[in-house]
Amino acid sequence: GAPSGRRRRAAEERFDHGTARLVVSSALPVGQPFCGEYQELHMQVHERPVFQKVGAPDDGQVVYLLFNEADQWIFTPHRDGRADGWAYAADQASTPAAIGGTFDFWDGANWVPDSTLRIQDMRADAQTEESAMAAAALAEAASAASLSEAPETQGDLVAPAQDSNAVGVAFWEELWRAAPPMGLADQVLPSHPGVKRGVLPNGMRFVMLKNAMPPGRFEAHIELHVGSIDEEPHEQGIAHMMEHVCFLGSRKRERLIGTGSRSNALTDFQHTLYHIHAPVQLEDGRDMYLPSLEALYEIAFSPDLLPQRIEKERKAVLAEMQQVNDMEYRIETWTLSGLHETNKLGSQFPIGKEEQIHRWKQKDLKAFHEKWYYPGNATLYIVGDLDEDTMLSGIRKVFEPAKPRHLPSPDTAIVEPVWGAGSEDPRSLFRRRLGKARPEQLHNFSVPMIGTSDVFTEAAAFDVSKGERPWQGPLKIFRNELLESMQLNFYAKAPVRPLRTLEDIRHLIAVRILIGVLQFRIVSRYSSNHAPVTIDHSDSFREGCAVTAITVNADPRDWRNALACVVQEVRAICDYGITESEMKRYMDAMLKDVEKGVAEDDTVPSEDHLNFIMTSDVFDHAVMHPEQAYQAFREVTPHVSLEQVHATAKWMLGFLGHYSKADAPPTTAIVVCAPTQVFEEQTQEWAPFNIKEDEIVDLLLSVPDKSKEEALNQVDVPESLLDGHLERLLGQGPIDAATAWRTASRKVDQDTGIVQYMLPNGAKVNYACTTNESQGTMRILAPGGRSADAPGEIGAAAVGIRTLSESGAVGSFAREQIELFAVSNVMSVHLDLNLEFSFVDASFSMSSSGLVAVLELLHLLFQEPRWELPAFTRAQQAYKAQSHAVQKSLEHSTMDRLVRMMYRDDGRVAEPSVDDMNRLTLDVVRRAVSSQLRPQDLEINLVGDFAGAGQLKMARIAGGLGTGKHYELGDPEPEETELPATVRERRLRELDEALWRYLGSVPPSTDVSAERAREAPTIWRGEDVPPEARRRRAHLEDSDERAVANIGGGAPNRWGKGDSYHTKCMKERSFSWDVRGGEWRDHPLYPSMCLLALREVINTRLFSTVRDSLGLSYDCSFDLSLFDRLEAGWYTCTVSAHPSRIDEAVEAARGVLQGVRTRPINELEVSAARRTLVRRHETDLQTNEYWLSLLSHLQYDNPKDTTCVRDIEAMLQRLTVSDVQNAYASLLMDKDQMFVSVTTAGPGSSYVSGGAA
């Protein structure tokens, strides 16, 4: 950029201007990239001709030579005359050939004069033969100079000069873009044959897709294309208020309650969505499709907008405003304000402004509804188990009567075209064109240029005479006393690239590869699997643009090292690209991910299909069937090259990698969220923390470069983790031994298909075959968890599990090798724990190699874990930081104080303190975890397509795709091929033998410390303490006012048993689960089914009373711990409100909880709860995660057996009112048995009062 001058003048087109050619030459490297031939254009800027360099790649950076608004001749990528470019000469000559001054070039750090640069005018209509020969010779010399040392041609990219340190070359490299292979940009992506679209005569658009998952259910969503950015200055929050009033004021929606339906609504910046998930028919045969559409019609086009409903929702919105304003929300608003400083997205949030919400009357909402809620501004989406004729006839019957409004002409309400790129406003957000004016929202894009259309920010302007450098976007720092860690966010916005052609797919592949490679490189630098860095490039549905985001979460005391590490890796990938093996590894993983989508297509829920279509439509992405997407990816992957990925890296990541260089796309925003104080370990005191903008910029400018050798250094990725190891361990004849073991140990439940056995080392196995997902999932449970911590060793199990995860290394393999081994085999392994268990979760490819790979890793994890001191130190520090963060969090600190009161500061139940962490050592945490992860105590649960049905389908599809054919509309569905019994049996035998071989071969542990059982946590007898000891109040100093409360007390576990105190109370009450007339009461599931139904009833009552009738809280919810192993448990009720009303809200919630005794549960409530639970069970059965929960604990010492999987729906259908009412008596709900924790936040010093120490 050159120094700013007078206001920019508009370029004027002159088509009668004579053509001219220039040849530019230079003897210096800084000027050589600009050498070559320039052609005069048919236009002038500032009354002088404009020239364009000839021969740049088709989609590369165009170079212009022109006279700018600062009265300078300039080499620039912009032809509008702005003061922004790579080189300038302060000379007012009428043509470039007459320039007498010297050009100054920006080399990425300084302005460098080039006195050797020459410009010769070779006017076409006046050339003689001699001048033509001279021009050719000069052009040849210029070309030779600019490509000195004979650079090679690499694929579809012209390689830069070999001297990568030459002045000027470094930044000119960044401007070259790889040209797409011939034809990819012309090959349009196919459309999903099942997605049907249409427009009603009144202008309402609709989209339909038949999908039978879950069976007998459907999704109906109506989207109004209006949000908070459409509000006038005096309407901030009215779109959200309108959503509340329309949705909760609908009587027809209320009639759906208790039918097994669920509904909800949301408002964001540019959309308001109302959705209903419902059964197609009820058990009595009643249709639910039309009533659901009628409810949506009433919500969108015929709301009552009654004054009493407006007042109710005004209270609810104000309560919601208090509840959502947590630290996470504030960080989001801070980042959005920096990211979108040029439009309303940065200032006009959906929640609105409190003072305006108080003022609106009925007429204001009616006016807003009239303005935006009409058919031409709405799209209806229907996806579910309905035939297309039924869908279409229902849409026409219910929605055609809606009157059109805001007609663009007297004849029609439809603005053509209603679909595709022509229906969008490319200068603004991706929003549909309307027949009425809509406020324009310009983005400050980083790439390909700052600003939109002819409106630009000053992001690229700087004054050379004052020693200024290019300005790289706004940098804002937000500080808050409740923050514990520091977050640095770097953003670059770009226009969304609609996914329409194969070339768009090629670009998408490059982006995904880069994110994977960069994330791994940074993680490997952190020596931790918990590197606090996230990298993303995605299209934002709510913001209408594409955003590249790099977020660094750091300890405030070490932010410089954390940020320097990230910047250095981003710069290295911009400078040198990636390696061939990195590209292949991540491209293979991506193709497997797309293949996974094909295998899972039959099991994708309607809601997921609908959301995908809706978000794709926002950006005009092609909506493809998974098989079509798979073919497109397979067709494109051979054309993805290292050069293209490198070019994409500079396009996507150059804003940070080449920060401050003239060629770099400027950052759209840098947003930093920092605490005001930090805890100093040495002094054990809080010290002020301050960070300034200059410190961040100075670090970004001073990070040293990596060498090419360092950047492209390769990690040796093992093919196998157990090469030869098992043979030595198992000895001779392992197959015969496995067969004998399998015959004796294996049993199959005929009702559920669940397979169970015990491995030779004592580990228990449960698995189920499903085709829900293309990947297999595994959960390995080890009894103990946090409840097994010994006195004086609180937090040992948690820190130990985190230490193993931080290390990430097993056996002789480094963490980096294990990480890439996991990427190559498309698997993941995650360690965690809860109060009852430590566990290992794994997902893996269903290929034989995928299963073997994850089992090899697990074998080493249990037999040869690496306990490293640096990993322990990081884990310890992480939990210390978490302890501080919990006490600064309104929600978490309130709950922590509640459980500390109920359990008399039992550290196993509460959050471990810093003092607890300081008492731990590496040996203590290793011993704590090793005593739990004993092979003989493990329960291994697996869910997946182990029989191979999904793989059979994939083989059919791959074969079909190999012919180049597509399924066309009207083609018959391919016939399903049943898996032969012999093939199924062979696959299951292979699974059993693999588990026996890799996990059964881990020797049993000789550690007996786990056999010394710890006493389960026991709730405190509330009757024995004064009321003030059962109520604790706290205040957190904060800039904003909020409040939250937790009410808690004793409850049984999933099997109806509580701790010793609970058992005594039940005996005093003469409580029994044996209810007169209660069927199946001896079933192990009986207590849990009663308690789950009770939870639904109480939550419904809390909503209708505390939230809807009294307007005291936006969120009031009830939950139960329902432990599986521990004979202990509790219930909690969470309520949020304004500090001035929190006590009133607590009393109202307490009244609902205790009122179940005086206002008994009725049949209608039980019926609604039953339907909700049954529908949830039916839906969840389609997920592996839910199946894992069903399998877990089947072989532990508890009442659970396979009937607890088989009989869930049958048990729910048999529940009676007396069953659920009786379950209420199992909760300790008396006034002197309840504990209450209340925390407010706002101005004033922090304190904690009440409760017992």
Residues with active-site annotation: 243, 313
Residues 163-167: contacts with CB within 8 Å, 24+ apart? 163/29, 166/29, 167/28, 167/29, 167/30, 167/105, 167/107, 167/112
Helices 1217-1224 and 1086-1102: angle between axes, nearest 10 degrees = 80
Ramachandran angles phi, psi of 1156, nearest 5°: -65, -25
Interstrand relation of 73-76 and 64-67 (parallel, antiparallel or unpaired): antiparallel
C-alpha distances in Å from residue 23, one per residue of 48, 146, 1049: 18, 13, 85
Q: Where are the beta strands (DSSP E) in 927-966?
A: 939-944
- Size of the chain, expressed as the number of residues it contains: 1253
Angstrom distance (rounded) from CA 905 to CA 896? 10
Half-sphere exposure of 480 (CA within 13 A, CB side): 27
Name the β-bridge partners of 217: 279
Query: CA-CA distance, 989 to 298, in Å (whole number)?
Result: 57
Helix axis angle for 580-599 and 626-636, nearest 10°, is 160
CA angle 29, 30, 34 (to 5 degrees): 95
- Give the C-alpha separation, 170 to 112, whole Å: 14
CA distance 837 to 784: 5
Encoded tokens for 703:
């990070």
Omega before 718 cis (within 30°)? no
Q: Distance between CA 940 and CA 765 in Å, rounded?
A: 5
Question: Residue 1202: which H helix or E strand, with range?
Answer: none
DSSP 8-state secondary structure symbol assigned to residue 363: H
Virtual CA dihedral for 591, 593, 597, 599, nearest 10 degrees? Answer: 80
Residue 925 one-letter amino acid: V
- Using left for φ > 0, alpha for ψ between -120 and 50, and beta otherwise, residue 522 falls in alpha
Q: Are strands 669-675 and 475-480 parallel, antiparallel or unpaired?
A: parallel
Per-residue b/e over 272-302, b at no fewer than 16 CB within 10 Å? bbbbbbbbbeeeeeeebbebbbbbbbbbbbe
* Tokens (6 digits) for 445: 């894009």
Rounded to 5°, the CA angle 413-416-420 comes to: 130
Angle between helices 815-824 and 848-863 (to 10 degrees): 160
CA angle 1087, 1090, 1094 (to 5 degrees): 135
As a whole number of Å, the CA-based R_g of the chain is 34
> In this structure, are residues 604 and 774 in contact, taking their beta carbons and an 8 Å threshold?
no
Phi and psi of 540, rounded to 5°? -95, 110
